Amino acid sequence: MGIVERPADNRAIGVFDSGLGGLTAVRQLHRLLPGENIIYFGDTGRVPYGTRSRETIIKYARQDVAFLRQFALKAVVIACNTVSSVALDLLAQENEIPIIGTVEPACRRAMTMTRNGRVGVIGTAATMRSGAYEKYLHQADGSLRLFPQACPLFVPLVENGRVRRGDVVIETVAAEYLAPLKAAEVDTLILGCTHYPLLGEVIADYMGPEVTLIDSGAEAANLASTQFDLGDGNGVTRYFVSDDPAAFDQLAGLFLQEAPAAGAGLVDITGY
């Protein structure tokens, strides 16, 4: 019998976040799967999610998925740790296509990288409150010690482009949040928020070269790339936001590390 080829699947991958952070997952999808069509939604009118209640995060996440599902999709990547921590199971129950979050793939990578079993995780207040990282890591390997730290000021600073080495504001805030993790001698630090890879240099400078940083958005993209049949066309990415597309267009390149191929469209997300 000859090999039966599976037909190409040109449906798009839906990706969403509260704002621009999820573009760090899109960046990795572009690297891994340049032929895939992607629909990105950033809820820029309601960012941040990480300071909100569980009920509000679930309501917003359902609306985000409902918007994306107007398009023909083969999978959804929740490029937001806050939503992944609070609503992944629910969204997976409510949708028949694969819904891929950040927590599991980020933990799996951390488990392969740590040498001393001391792992830090930083994220929004809601992600830390959910206990999702502790739950996953302790179930997967009870011998690991996890050191969680909420960093509520990071998202607004990143969304304002305050990410560069030498910026005294971000360096001061980073030092305050990261000091307990440095004292705990973690050798692996999960960036448990998709905005944080933009702070990679600032965080690495403070933590030192011996600490491995895990990019949770990129890990979600890595996992996603194994979950469906690939398309065979030229990948096109379309961007949508719930407020101020011009501001999104201006900052998106910083997250994507390339200029977005097209400007963002405006969506009234409250209608979904």
- Cite the active site residues: 80, 193
CB 85, min distance to ligand DGL, A: 8
Phi, psi of 99 (to 5 degrees): -115, 120
- Residue 116 beta carbon to ligand DGL: minimum distance, rounded to whole angstroms: 26
- 49 touches ligand DGL by CB under 6 A: yes
CA-based diameter of the chain, in Å? 66
Give least dist CB 232 to ligand DGL, A: 31
At 260 the three-state DSSP class reads coil
Give the Cα-Cα-Cα angle 101, 40, 202 (nearest 5 degrees).
70
DSSP 242-258: SS-HHHHHHHHHHHHTS
The residue (of 17 and 219) whose beta carbon lies closer to ligand DGL is 17
Cα dihedral 102→105→108→113 (10° resolution): -90
Shortest approach of ligand DGL to residue 89 CB, angstroms? 17
- Sole window of 4-12, 119-127, 172-180, 247-255 interacting with ligand DGL (rule: CB under 6 A): 119-127
DSSP string, 70-93: TS-EEEEEE--HHHHHHHHHHHHH
Residue placing its CB nearer to ligand DGL in the complex, 18 or 37: 18
What whole-number distance in Å separates Cα of residue 78 and Cα of residue 253? 20
User: How many residues bind ligand DGL, per CB under 6 A?
Assistant: 18
Nearest to 128 by CA among 50, 184, 75: 50
Map residues 145-184 to x or -, x wherever contact with ligand DGL holds by CB under 6 A: ----------x-----------------------------
CB closer to ligand DGL, 219 vs 231:
219
Give the residue, chosen from 16, 17, 105, 207, that forms a contact with ligand DGL under the rule CB under 6 A.
Answer: 17
Q: Does 16 bind ligand DGL (CB under 6 A)?
A: no
Residues that bind ligand DGL in the complex, under the rule CB under 6 A: 17-19, 21, 47-50, 80-82, 123-124, 127, 155, 193-195
